[in-house]
Chains A and B, each alone.
Chain A
Amino acid sequence: MPNDYDSKVSLHLDINHGLDRVTELVQTRLIESGWRDQVKLACRKAILENGDKHIPTVDELIAQITPKARSMVPDAVKRELLHELELILTNIDKSGYSKSF
């Protein structure tokens, strides 16, 4: 069940034409907070550490960087985004499911 939560949220948002707005909102907030630049820096450092020997593979980079990237998200931004998502879902539930259909 816990594995299905994120897919359920994306499903409900997609049906109610909210998925694009939500993704755009999350992206703009993360870019404004500087999170994206920090992740880029971390990527370059990870590549330059092994730069003389060889460029690390994509899988190695993903394994190295994704936990760092999650921890680098500012708490304030994360709380704000969580709160806004909950509000959106409750509004969809209150206003009626998928009015356009």
Chain B
Amino acid sequence: MSKRQKPEHKQLFGSLAKDLHELVSNKQALRMSVENFLNSLIDEMTLGIIFDLHRKYKTNAYDLEVDDSCDDDDSGDMDAFSQPNLKKIQDCNCPNCGRAMATIRFSSHLETCMGMGGRNSRSRNASRRAASNSNDRDSSYSGIPSDDDDDADWNSGDRRKKKKEKNGGKKNRGTPKKIFEPDLVEPVNIDVEGDDDELTNLRDILHLQDHSNSTSPTDSASSSGSIKKKDKSKSKKSGKRDRTSPSLNISLE
């Protein structure tokens, strides 16, 4: 606070004190003013009550035919937690099966109905649809998992990789997805020692083959970069990748 403001404050307070003194000394004026002040306070409280009740009636929190004596105990459609009746809130219709349900359960129902929630949440119909979609794609790629399956089984794929790396053996797990066309594959030095990590590497190659046939070489370079990253991650765990990664790059470029 600056020094200039202090005398101004003093003058202001002086004038206010004079005003109050004049008001208090005049009894009639004092009564009138106090009465008006009290009436304004009463009006404020009345407005608060009106707004509150009007909102409650508008939002159907109260049943209109309830007696006033019963308000403390119960009021029509309100349950113990003073929430409106849930049966009235069934506004959602599932686009898949057409059922009507509450909004609270709509998201979980969609997960099961459309098969988007994960492993355990798939219903029979959803799994059939997913299988039919995957079959259509498998026929074109001859056993390579599609993007949708990758997305759906992302966690499961990571677990498989971890299990394979733990095992580290020559186990070919009998998947029919090993089929690839040797004519299209350029010579690549791959250690044929039967590591299951090779499968994923081959899949990547085949993906690249299909993409390179249809797309520009820049896409293959970017995808080869992705392969580099994957190979680097695996090289930390097994030192056999170093041989393969440079040859892959050379052949594809």
Which A residues have a C-beta under 8 Å from some C-beta of B? 2, 5-6, 8-12, 15, 23, 26-27, 30, 36, 39-41, 43-44, 47-48, 51, 55, 58, 61-62, 65-66, 69-70, 73, 78, 81-82, 85-86, 89-90, 92-93, 96-98, 101
Q: Across the interface, do A93 and B24 meet the contact criterion of CB distance under 8 Å?
A: yes
Q: Across the interface, do B13 and A27 meet the contact criterion of CB distance under 8 Å?
A: no
Q: Across the interface, do B50 and A86 meet the contact criterion of CB distance under 8 Å?
A: no
- Contacting chain A: which of B40-48, B94-102, B119-127, B213-221? B40-48
Which B residues have a C-beta under 8 Å from some C-beta of A? 9, 13, 16-17, 19-21, 23-24, 29-43, 45-47, 49-51, 53-54, 57-58, 64-65, 68
Q: Across the interface, do B49 and A5 meet the contact criterion of CB distance under 8 Å?
A: no
Q: Given A51-B64, A98-B13, check contact A86 B31 (CB 8 Å).
A: yes
Q: Across the interface, do B39 and A70 meet the contact criterion of CB distance under 8 Å?
A: yes
Q: Across the interface, do B34 and A66 meet the contact criterion of CB distance under 8 Å?
A: no
Q: Across the interface, do B68 and A12 meet the contact criterion of CB distance under 8 Å?
A: no
Q: Across the interface, do A43 and B53 meet the contact criterion of CB distance under 8 Å?
A: yes
Q: Across the interface, do A6 and B53 meet the contact criterion of CB distance under 8 Å?
A: no
Q: Across the interface, do B42 and A85 meet the contact criterion of CB distance under 8 Å?
A: no
Q: Across the interface, do A58 and B23 meet the contact criterion of CB distance under 8 Å?
A: no
Q: Across the interface, do B45 and A82 meet the contact criterion of CB distance under 8 Å?
A: no
Q: Given A51-B64, A86-B31, check contact A10 B13 (CB 8 Å).
A: no
Q: Across the interface, do A10 and B57 meet the contact criterion of CB distance under 8 Å?
A: no
Q: Across the interface, do A97 and B17 meet the contact criterion of CB distance under 8 Å?
A: yes
Q: Across the interface, do A40 and B37 meet the contact criterion of CB distance under 8 Å?
A: no
**Mind listing 15 A-B residue pairs with CB under 8 Å?**
A5-B33, A6-B33, A8-B23, A11-B16, A26-B41, A39-B49, A58-B51, A58-B54, A70-B46, A82-B38, A92-B20, A93-B20, A97-B20, A98-B13, A98-B17
User: How many angstroms from the CA of A5 to the CA of B20 in the assembled complex?
Assistant: 11
B21: chain A residues within 8 A (beta carbon): 93
In the complex, the chain B residue whose C-beta lies closest to that of A64 is: B50
B16: chain A residues within 8 A (beta carbon): 11-12, 15, 97-98
Q: Given A12-B20, A15-B16, check contact A30 B54 (CB 8 Å).
A: no
Most buried by B among A15, A30, A44, A51: A44
CB distance from A22 to the nearest CB of B (A): 8
Q: Across the interface, do B49 and A43 meet the contact criterion of CB distance under 8 Å?
A: yes
Q: Across the interface, do A6 and B9 meet the contact criterion of CB distance under 8 Å?
A: no
